[in-house]
Amino acid sequence: MPFDLAARLAARRAENLYRQRPLLESPQGPEVVVDGQPLLAFCNNDYLGLANHPQVIEAWREGAARWGVGGGASHLVIGHSGPHHALEEALAELTGRPRALLFTTGYMANLGAVTALVGQGDTVLEDRLNHASLIDGGLLSGARFNRYLHNDARSLAQRLEKAVGNTLVVTDGVFSMDGDVADLPALAREAKAKGAWLMVDDAHGFGTLGASGGGVVEHFGLSQEDVPVLVGTLGKAFGTAGAFVAGSEELIESLVQFARPYIYTTSQPPALACATLKSLELLRSEDWRREHLQRLIRQFRQGAEQIGLQLMDSFTPIQPILVGDAGRAMQLSRMLRERGLMVTAIRPPTVPAGGARLRVTLTAAHSEAQVQLLLEALAECFVQLGPEPSHA
């Protein structure tokens, strides 16, 4: 019996690591219906509340009427249509880069960019806590692959000493499971000193950080020389789907020629690009969304500290509560659910062993009263669960 899948699944269950998909029966938003139950949710990445915005929906509808619903072919054959092109130009403007290239997902953008830029004889250095798609891109590239300590420019510098060939340094802008922000000025300094390129995946920063939503690069005021390869995704603050890489003319042309996840896939539906153009406009013009979100983040952190929860070093909408044990994290998530709240427990292997947590995400669509409800429920659940039993 070569494939003993049942045993693998049973082992997963025994470790409290078995994953299940909640069934969403409503549009995305703070108030959802999941598996038949109305819930107040703090777990989506729709940070600006645009995924169900009437103007974005209308842009999609009009786009479908004008362009149809399917991309029809890959970009290089005959799938590169007007809305894709217009969106790329708008994203280049948002990022202040000469060009941007649209991908169907962030996973593909990361796989495509890393594998197009480095290969055998080169080096890729990644933060230990990078998103899985960046790690997978590094492994697939065939370059020498090494991880540096989380957000540690000195650890990076040590590894840069031993780097060979073209060297790509890769980091999340905002770390997706911790919510902390990469120390980009320091990482960029080290990379530049060694002639390496810095690639930043700012999936969670675009729309939420920077005065005009330009993300972590705008937050730090960094240039294209500091961050030659800049990735953003469209399924989070933009509220739609897809991703982009922004950079120089030569970078984008190289991706068009060599990034296999770009070349060998059907373009996203053009109507989706129409919707994203509208959400980009809202993301840039409606500053109140970012301001309201910042207020909620401050409210949540102050309240959580008062009740003694273990927060992480984050000023972003990702506000995890460290629990430690995977079973306890699951238990807390279940207890919140019984009170009508949905907060996801994140367990290994998504986070390191012993690092299970409740991953609270706040969005501009939440109200202060809803955050207050969450804080009250958390206080009750932690008291009810009692202190963690000490380990022998």
Q: Which of 81, 141, 176, 267 is catalytic?
A: 176
| Residue 123 or 276 having the CB closest to ligand PLP | 276
- Please report, as a single letter, which amino acid is at residue 205: G
- Of positions 81, 105, 333, 361, contacts ligand PLP by CB under 6 A: 105
Active site residue 204: yes
Q: Does 46 bind ligand PLP (CB under 6 A)?
A: no
CB 293 within 8 A of CB 371: no
- Of positions 233, 240, 279, 361, contacts ligand PLP by CB under 6 A: 233
- Of positions 127, 172, 178, 226, contacts ligand PLP by CB under 6 A: 172
Q: Tell me, what DSSP letter sits at residue 268?
A: P
d(CA 120, CA 131) in angstroms, rounded, equals 22
Q: Does 81 bind ligand PLP (CB under 6 A)?
A: no
For residue 324, give Cα distances in angstroms to 178, 287, 364: 13, 36, 29
User: How many other CB atoms are found less than 10 A from the CB of residue 377?
Assistant: 18
Q: By beta-carbon distance, which residue lies closest to ligand PLP?
A: 106
Active site residue 84: no
Residue with tokens 């540690």: 152
- Contact set for ligand PLP, span 131-160 (CB under 6 A): 131, 133
Edge-to-edge strands of the sheet including 197-201?
99-103, 243-247, 229-233, 197-201, 167-172, 123-127, 144-148
| Residue 110 or 276 having the CB closest to ligand PLP | 110
80 assigned to a ligand binding site:
no
Radius of gyration of the chain (CA): 21
Active site residue 236: yes
Q: In the structure encoding, which two tokens stand for residue 232, read together?
A: 């953003």
**CA neighbor of 41 nearest in space, from 371, 292, 392:** 371
Q: Does 317 bind ligand PLP (CB under 6 A)?
A: no
Q: Tell me, what DSSP letter sits at residue 361?
A: E
- Of positions 126, 127, 201, 218, contacts ligand PLP by CB under 6 A: 201
Strand-pair category, 37-41 with 31-34: antiparallel
Site string for ligand PLP, 204-223 (x = CB under 6 A): x-------------------
Q: Does 176 bind ligand PLP (CB under 6 A)?
A: yes
**CA neighbor of 256 nearest in space, from 45, 91, 112:** 112
Q: Does 346 bind ligand PLP (CB under 6 A)?
A: no
350 assigned to a ligand binding site:
yes
Q: Does 203 bind ligand PLP (CB under 6 A)?
A: yes
Number of residues near ligand PLP (by CB under 6 A):
14
- The SS3 call for residue 76 is helix
Q: Does 347 bind ligand PLP (CB under 6 A)?
A: no
Check whether the bond before 349 is cis (ω within 30° of 0): yes
Q: Does 359 bind ligand PLP (CB under 6 A)?
A: no
| Residue 110 or 370 having the CB closest to ligand PLP | 110
**CA neighbor of 159 nearest in space, from 139, 187, 199:** 187
- Of positions 90, 243, 296, 309, contacts ligand PLP by CB under 6 A: 243
CB 186 within 8 A of CB 155: no
Residues that bind ligand PLP (CB under 6 A): 105-107, 110, 131, 133, 172, 176, 201, 203-204, 233, 235, 243
- Which residue ranges are tagged as binding site for substrate? 19, 131, 350
- Which residue ranges are tagged as binding site for pyridoxal 5'-phosphate? 106-107, 176, 204, 233
The catalytic site residues sit at: 176, 204, 236
- Which residue ranges are tagged as binding site? 19, 106-107, 131, 176, 204, 233, 350
